[in-house]
Amino acid sequence: MTETKRTLRVLSPDDAAPTVHGAGDAYRFLATGAETGGAYFMLEATVPPGGGPPPHIQTREEEGFYVLEGTVEFLAGEGRKLSAGPGTMIHVPRGVLHSFRNQTDEVARMLIWFAPAGIEQMFLEVGEGSEGYAAIAARYGVEFPHP
Q: What is the pLDDT of residues 50-91, one digit of tens each?
A: 999 989 999 999 999 999 999 999 998 877 899 999 999 999
Mean pLDDT over each residue of the chain, to the nearest integer: 90
| Other CB atoms within 10 Å distance of the CB of residue 37 | 13
Total count of domains within the chain: 1
Write the DSSP symbol of residue 53. Answer: P
Instruction: Please report whether residue 94 resides in a domain.
Output: yes
For residue 111, what is the domain's CATH number? 2.60.120.10
> Taking a C-beta distance cutoff of 8 angstroms, is the pair 71, 84 a contact?
yes
pLDDT at 81: 93
- Taking 50 as the pLDDT cut, the residues of the chain under it are none
| Other CB atoms within 10 Å distance of the CB of residue 16 | 7
Cα(75)–Cα(28) distance, integer angstroms: 23
As a dihedral over the C-alpha atoms of residue 27, residue 33, residue 34, residue 38, rounded to 10 degrees, the angle is 180
Write the DSSP symbol of residue 36. Answer: H
Find the domain containing 32 and state its range: 19-142
pLDDT at 14: 83
Instruction: Please report whether residue 119 resides in a domain.
Output: yes
Instruction: Please report whether residue 136 resides in a domain.
Output: yes
